[in-house]
Chains A and B, each alone.
Chain A
Amino acid sequence: MVETTSTAPAPLPLNKRGRGGGRATTRSAGWTAALPLLVFIGLAFGIPAVALLGGAFTANGTLSTANLTESLQGAYLTAMLSSVKLSALVAVVGAVLGTFLAQAVVTSRFRALREAVLTASGVLANFGGVPLAFAWIATLGNSGVLTTRLGLGDLGWNLYSFWGLVLVYLYFSIPLMVLVIVPALDGLRPQWREAAQNNGATTWQFWRYVGIPVLTPTLLGGVVLLFGGAFAAYATAAAMVGTVVPLVTLQIADALAGNVLIGHENVALALSLDMVVVAGVVMAVYLPLQRRSARWLR
């Protein structure tokens, strides 16, 4: 008995090798097809990344952490904190408002409204950069149409401020959130709401125990996406506030343009590294949260 059972699997490896031999060609073909992309990423993304890393740790031609230390002090630190605060605020507010808007659209009876909002979201989510800043300056800037007509200037309104930036950043963040959350809202089956009601739950209880938990993975993903978008934004802020509101992207651009002391050119690279690290930390917080909130999916 023992003999037979131990010899029984013997043909299997042979078999496998036989099949594997046939597959090997397709597998190598697969690698060949993927190779250009891998090489491209390695060159186009890898070389700048290495240069960045090397530069950030090089000061006056020698290996040093001086740049990094400097990038975490004084005005640079203020700018970084301000960037993080702005992005976090935009991300959370944008996610909440975007979800409400999406829910209003998804539950609407009008099919055309849904299509219109989704198309508009697709365009507005990509409406960033300088044009966005100009549009808002024309609207609520110091001589903007609304500012002058409604006399907002006398009321202390100032677009070129932290809150002004929040208002403007939400303009592309909310549509982005709508695009992210609509499929998830569509996925909420009407049976769940009815089953909850059938078990005595109120509307609020349905959302509390079922709706929001089911949406959480998508909501978290949206928050992270919005954070990343706001954190990386440079053109809008540059056109709007110049250096009135300190932001890390403005500091990097400034340093890259050469507005630093001799020998401190690589501070820009250190600041860039800081940004990547912040983005990495956000990911490191997000991924376990995401996994936890989506454990029922696995």
Chain B
Amino acid sequence: MAALTPAALPDVEPPARSGGRGRRGGIWRGVVLVVAALYFVTPLLASFVFTVNDPMTGFTLDAYGEIFTAEGFAQSLLLSLGLAVATIVLVLVLTLPAMLAVRLSAPRLRPVLEVLCTLPLVVPPITFVAGISTVLRWGPDYLAATPFYQTIISIQNPAFPVVLVIAYAVLALPFVYRALDAGLGAMDVRTLVEAARNCGASWPVVLLRVIVPNLKSGLASASFLTLALVLGEYTIARLLGFQPFSVWIVTISGANAPLSVAVSIFSLLLTWLLLLVLSTAGTRRSRS
């Protein structure tokens, strides 16, 4: 036992080591960051070059101009944004009361909710759409004589396909659940609610004046994740035959390569912009 220490600490290293480690750490970090920057920036830059470089005429911004004049641009973009807003509202209206209830009065429901809200993660969108299209195809056959028939038809209205809102709400559930759960976890819901109730606030007031303001960052991130999901979602919309922005991009690009890439960059910038808007809105309001 006593022999342990002297044997284990026999020699003294030359002094250069500890300083050397810091420098080596710096080099390692630099290499990682440079490689990552190259990997992530190159496609964006190259895409941009691709869109503005015409082999005949040289530099041109025509591809970007074409986006806005292409047929269906505004219509599909508005449809996508409309779907996004509807999905966000639907999913929040459904999850927020349920999650509050689970924390306040039905804790035994919590594992159930957690599993249910995680399930869509296990189900790839394409399998989900396979299921949906089966229902939509078979539904009319079996329900022709019932009022459900009208419902099945009306949720597929191409002008505003409610079926997409429903599908997207399901896909967004895991992300919304996580974001709200983190937000609710960071505040003491029970005490807040009890304090508010004690001051005579009604349930709607509690929800809108106490919970929502305190949950701002959670709501903002839930909204952003849903927004990004809806704007980028292609599989379900395409296979059900609707044309929101993500599908429109593909339809119009056709043989025009610079245009299709320009639209891609445009959609990335759009996502970026919306993220910025949402995150600044979240922080600004919580600061005041």
- Interfacial residues, chain A to chain B (CB-CB below 8 A): 23, 26-27, 29-34, 36-38, 40-41, 44-45, 47-49, 51-52, 55, 100-101, 103-105, 107-108, 113, 119-120, 122-124, 126-132, 134-140, 143-146, 171, 174-175, 200, 203, 228, 231-232, 234-235, 239, 249, 252-253, 256-257, 268-269, 271-273, 275-276, 279-280, 283
Contact = CB atoms under 8 A, between A and B. Distances in A.
A140 B127 CA distance: 31
A29 B134 contact: no
A130 B29 contact: no
A275 B122 CA distance: 9
A129 B246 contact: yes
20 contacts: A30-B101, A30-B106, A33-B98, A34-B101, A44-B167, A51-B138, A105-B33, A123-B268, A130-B249, A131-B232, A131-B263, A132-B264, A134-B47, A137-B257, A228-B124, A234-B125, A234-B235, A239-B250, A273-B127, A275-B126
A62 to B, nearest CB: 16
Contacts of A104: 28-29, 32-33, 36
Contacts of A139: 42-43, 46-47, 50
Interface in B240-258: 246, 249-250, 253, 257
B159 interface: no
B275 A228 contact: no
The 8 A-B residue pairs with the shortest CB-CB distance, nearest first, are A48-B131, A232-B124, A30-B106, A131-B264, A30-B105, A272-B127, A33-B101, A139-B46
B64 interface: no
Residue among A47, A103, A145 with max Cβ neighbours from chain B (10 Å)? A145
A275 B170 contact: no
B97 A33 contact: yes
Contact of B98 (A27, A37, A47, A232): A37
Contacts of A271: 130
B170 A45 contact: yes
- Judged by DSSP, the binding face of A is helix
Interface of B: 8-9, 21, 25, 28-29, 32-33, 36, 39-40, 42-44, 46-47, 49-51, 53, 93-95, 97-98, 100-102, 104-106, 109, 113, 116-117, 119-135, 138, 166-167, 169-170, 173, 224-225, 228-229, 232-235, 238-239, 246, 249-250, 253, 257, 260-261, 263-265, 267-268, 271-272, 275, 279
A55 B98 CA distance: 32
A32 to B, nearest CB: 8
A276 B124 CA distance: 7
Contacts of B94: 36-37, 40
B249 to A, nearest CB: 6
Contacts of A146: 42, 46
A135 B33 contact: no
A94 B128 CA distance: 26
A111 B117 CA distance: 35
A34 B113 contact: yes
Contact of B121 (A38, A203, A228): A228
A32 B101 CA distance: 9
A232 B135 CA distance: 21
Contacts of A272: 124, 126-127, 130-131
A130 B234 contact: yes
Nearest to A113: B33
A275 B167 CA distance: 18
B116 A38 contact: yes
Contact of A119 (B42, B261, B264, B275): B275
Given A131-B249, A138-B47, A31 B126 contact: no
Contacts of A135: 43-44, 46-47, 261, 264-265, 268
B101 A29 contact: yes
A113 B8 CA distance: 41
A34 B249 contact: no
Nearest to A178: B36
Contacts of A124: 40
A175 B8 CA distance: 43
A123 B268 CA distance: 8
A225 to B, nearest CB: 8
Contacts of B47: 134-135, 138-139, 145
Nearest to A280: B122
B31 to A, nearest CB: 9
Contact of B250 (A44, A101, A130, A269): A130
Contacts of A103: 32
Contacts of A136: 43
A33 B95 CA distance: 9
A279 B225 CA distance: 22
